[in-house]
């Protein structure tokens, strides 16, 4: 996944980089480094985000599908 694609997905999901970091349970600096193309985006993250976009799954719905409570 390119940094441009990651930024597009973040926008399509209506998230900030910090909100994406909370959702993925990673450090916000990691998401910033992905978005600046300083680190490659892990394949598991690519798959999850691309599936969320393709099937129009919000973060809230993703938690519900996984039968999980969103972190606070």
Residue 72 has pLDDT above 80, yes or no: no
Quote the pTM value.
Answer: 0.90
- Give the single-character DSSP code of 22: H
d(CA 24, CA 3): 17
For 12-54, the pLDDT digits (tens) are: 999 999 999 999 999 999 999 999 999 999 999 999 999 999 9
d(CA 6, CA 32): 10
d(CA 67, CA 11): 25
């Amino acid at each position: 996944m390119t940094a441009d694609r990651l930024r597009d997905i973040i926008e399509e999901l209506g998230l900030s980089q910090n909100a994406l970091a909370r959702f993925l349970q990673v450090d916000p600096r990691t998401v910033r480094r992905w978005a600046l193309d300083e680190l490659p985006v892990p394949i598991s993250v690519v798959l999850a985000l691309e599936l969320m976009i393709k099937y129009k799954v919000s973060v809230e719905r993703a938690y519900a599908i996984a039968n999980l409570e969103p972190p606070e």
